[in-house]
Structure formats: C-alpha cells, structure tokens
Amino acid sequence: MSTSLLTRVDQGVRNAVPSLVTCLFLVISVVPLRIPLFGPVSPLLALACLYYWGVHRPDLMPLLVVFMVGILHDILIGATLGAHAVVYLVSYWLLVSQRRFLSGRNYLILWWGFLLTAMIAVALEWLVFSTLEQHLMPVEPLFFRVLLTAALFPLVGWIMIQLHRFVVPQPRLA
Amino acid sequence: MRKQPRSMVRLMALRGIVQRFSLVILLLAAFGLMMLAKIDTVLIDTVRNRVTDLLTPFMELIAEPASTIAGVVEDAQELTDLRAENAYLRQENRTLRQFQEIAYRLEAENISLRSLMNYRPDRPHAFLTARVVADNSGAFVRSLGLNVGANNGVASGQTVLGSRGLAGRIVQVGDRSSRVLLLTDLNMRVPVMLERSRERAIVAGDNTAFPRLLYLEDEADVAVGDRLVTSGHGGMYPSGLPVGNVVSIEENEVRVRPIEELDRLELVRIVDFDQGSDAAQFITSLGAVSFGAGGGAAAGSAAGSATGSGAREATPEPLLPGAPLADTVAQTPQPAATAQ
C-alpha cells in the first residue's frame, strides 16, 4: 500500500515538472540583464515551454496550468491581470488543435511551427495590450521579440528534451 | 446503493462538460479578471503584492548571478575601449572642473542671497537605496521590481532616482517588494520645464525609449540638447530633479532622452520628499538630492554593507564634491537641487 502511495507521489511530482519548469523559465525571463534595449525584445521563454509540452505531452500541460502561467506572467511584469492568460490560452489552443500535424515531425518543422506560434502569440499580445491601454503599441520591437524567441527555441527545446527523458518517463502500459 | 452511481454519473457528466468548455470558461475568467482589475484594484493589488512578495527572494537569488555575468561582460567590453574612454574622461574632467568653479561661485552667491532674503529652505527628505530584482520593461509595460517594500517604509507615489536623475515612481508596494513605473511607460506623466528657457511641458512615456514632450507652447524656445528638470507642478515630484535632454524636434513632436539609462539600472534611490515614512531604513538628509558619478558609487558601496531585511542604506552626499562646499552644505540648509 505504501509502495503504491509512493509511486503515486513520485508520478505526481514527475507530472508537475512541466508546469514548474514553465514557471521557472517565466521567472528567469524577467531577471534584469542590464542589456540596453533588451527589455522590449525580451524572448517569451515560457511560450517555448508551453509549445514543447503542448506538442509532446499536452496531458501534462492542462489549460488550467496555461491560464495560471499567464496570470503569473501578468503579476511578474505588473500588467493587467488576465492579459497574458488570454494570449497563452488562445495560442495554446491553436497549437493543440494543430498537434496532429506537428507531433512526430522532424526538428526543423517543429521549429517552424514554433516561429508561427510565437508570431501569433506576440500579435495577440499587441492586440490585447493595445485594446487595454486604448493606444497603438509600438510594433518594431515585436519583430525582434519573435525572432529572439524563435532563436532561443533550440536551447529551451534541448533542456525540455532532457527533462522529458529523465524526469517524465512515458506512461507505462498497464 | 442505487443513488450513488446515478450521482457519480451526473458528476462525470458535469466533469465532461467542464472539460469540454474549459477553454471558454478560462477565457471568460481571464476577461473577468481584466474587468475586475479596472473596477476593484484593491483586491487585485493585494493578490499581486502577496505573490510578488513570495517570489522576490527567489528572484533576488537569480538576479545576483545574472548581475555578475552582466558585470563581467561589461568589464570585458570596457577593457577593449579603455584608451578611448580615458581620453574622453580627461576631456570631460577638464569641462567638469570648469563647471565646479562656476558652481562654487554660484553656491556662495546663493548662500549670501538666501541670507539676505531670509529664504525658507525646502523640507529635508529621506531616502533608501534598493536593488532592482526584476526588469519588466517589456514591449507593453515599462517597470522594475525592487527588493524593498512597505516593511522598509516604501509607499506608493514616492519618487525613484538613479545616479543621475529621475527614473520613475513607486506604483505598487508589497511587504517586501515594490514596483517602479519607469519614465518611459505609457501611463507616466511628469511635469517638467526646460532648464534654459523655463518653458513648461509634460514628459509623457509611450513605451518607446524616448518619451514625448507634450503641451509645449507653439512658440516655445526649445532646441535639441536642452536639459529638462521637474517643474514641481501637481506636487507629485519636487522641482529641479533632472529628467532628460531634448533629443529630436520634428514638426509636432518633441522627443526626450531620459537622463537615466533605464535599461541598465541596478540600484535605485527611493526618495520620500514628504517625510511621510517614519521607517528606520530611510536616512534623512538635510542636503539637496545629489547626482553624478559619486551618487552611483555611494549607492553601490552602501549596498555592499547592507543591513537588515534587504534594505540598502546610502549616506547623503553634498551637492558638489570638495571639502569646503561639504562644510557649507552641512551648516546651511539647502534648497532643491538647482539653484533658483
């Protein structure tokens, strides 16, 4: 009995890893780097995490977690609560709806898919914030934000693959 | 016995519905939160402050190594252009010495005129130095997270200065953390005047690196390079704090370069001009708010010898370097930063 409980706790902790790592990447993305003009183009690291788990193990990244990641993002950057929740929810939903096309494909296609997801997410971000502030936000930094986010995807993806392999084993067939 | 399965079935059906419509439900929740934030800011702010308080020590932990790495990269960059910088600094030093002479003369003249006019000096101010632990200056919000909060006497509305001049204003305060809205943020408005022509205007952030100058009169005497200082109108900021320089003048748009490098701030000074805070961490200074290389260095060294719960204390420095003036400042109450 205690063994089965331990197994369940162990599995629970393993299953929580994708959510916790996404939150960690979110916190890392707001640490001050003191690089001039970096702020407006800072990459959406959490989106890369959401994308990876959305394609490979959407069961470990439920919509409620995506919502909470968005709320945490808003709290961390001092934005209106709910703004990034909308951005992440819609992007994630679109991603999961295209999952059949992306899953099992080679790395270049996954990267291309992420570039598209990042474009959609940043465009949504722009739309939500422009509406909230009733002011058209500057567009120029957003191109670089998309490019930088996409450029960092291999690094984030590599870390996620390691985590996927060692921390979250494929569910056993029982 | 028969009822239980039926209720289980109902529960399962409900769960199915919730799962099926979870996207819509969560999206509605997100929109609801956005609406709530517009109506009831107290509740939202409380939640926000609690979470930020919880995360701040963790972010401080990450910010330290990140800051060290950034420092090493900066050092390496500086080593490569040491010679050019040296020549530039020599030139600047010569210019500054001339300014120092002028300042001594003006200071002396001010003191004598003040005594003649029976001038009532500004109230003393108090300040404390804080470390930037979160840089949230993304494309949509321009703000910084600090490692001090209400426990250290920080209150909403207090002015935040860098080593050269105005950086922003405290807008959100938790127990152990606070948030600074930067000069470049869309919601930031600062009443200023042009130091040379005394024309009044408003510096308005628009989320770009160079805020706009609004409400300047059509015939206003303004030139590229003009220095802007706070005018003190509206009572939000005291007068005379350096804000920036005019960087471009186009047909109906004047842009300002903030005096502070807002994306490179590591330590900031929170100033309480109203003396509303009685917290021990705030140090009261009788002198004027001082800026320049000395200010940054003092803040840095003070951070090294930090005491208490993350609060950094800095000692007041005189308006200008030099022993004779420091003595005069200590003896004579001082008005705001610029001699009026």
Cα B272-B67-B176 angle, rounded to 5 deg? 40
One-letter amino acid identity for B5?
P
Chain B contacts of A123, Cβ < 8 Å?
Answer: none
Indicate the residue of A31, A67, A79 with minimum beta-carbon distance to B30: A67
In the predicted model, what is the mean pLDDT of residues B244-251? Answer: 89
* Local structure of residue A40 (DSSP, 8 states): G
Per-position b or e across B181-202, b if 16+ CB within 10 A of its CB: bbbbbbebbbbbbbbeeebebb
Tens digits of pLDDT across chain A (174 residues)? 566 888 888 888 888 889 999 999 998 888 877 666 676 777 889 999 999 999 988 888 999 999 999 999 998 888 888 999 999 999 999 999 888 888 778 888 999 999 999 999 999 999 999 998 888 888 888 888 899 889 999 999 999 988 888 666 655 544
B38 pLDDT above the threshold of 50: yes
pLDDT in tens, B128-182: 888 888 876 667 888 888 989 998 889 888 999 988 889 999 998 989 899 999 9
Nearest CA in chain B to A69: B30
Describe the crossing of helices B3-20 and B22-39 by its angle, rounded to 10 degrees.
Answer: 70
pLDDT in tens, B49-68: 888 888 888 888 887 777 77
Question: Looking at the complex, does the CB of residue A127 fall below 8 Å from at least one CB of chain B?
Answer: no
Chain B contacts of A75, Cβ < 8 Å?
Answer: 47-48, 51-52
Nearest CA in chain B to A27: B59
Helices (H), chain B: 3-20, 22-39, 41-80, 82-117, 293-304, 323-331
Q: Inter-chain contact A33–B132, Cβ cutoff 8 Å? A: no
Contacts 24+ apart (CB under 8 A), B17-22: B22/A62, B22/A63, B22/A64
Nearest CA in chain A to B135: A32
Cα A17-A163-A38 angle, rounded to 5 deg? 85
One-letter amino acid identity for B295?
G
B258 pLDDT above the threshold of 50: yes
In the predicted model, what is the mean pLDDT of residues B14-36? Answer: 86
- What is the per-residue pLDDT for B297? 36
C-alpha span between B323 and A81 (Å, rounded): 52
The verdict on pTM exceeding 0.90 is no
Q: What is the ipTM of this complex?
A: 0.84
Question: Looking at the complex, does the CB of residue A97 fall below 8 Å from at least one CB of chain B?
Answer: no
Chain A contacts of B28, Cβ < 8 Å?
Answer: none
Best mutation target among A26, A27, A61, A80 (most B Cβ atoms within 10 Å) is: A80
C-alpha span between B39 and B181 (Å, rounded): 21
Best mutation target among B39, B42, B61, B140 (most A Cβ atoms within 10 Å) is: B140
* Token code pair at residue B278: 């009685």
Q: Which of B238, B262, B236 is nearest to B180 (CA)?
A: B262
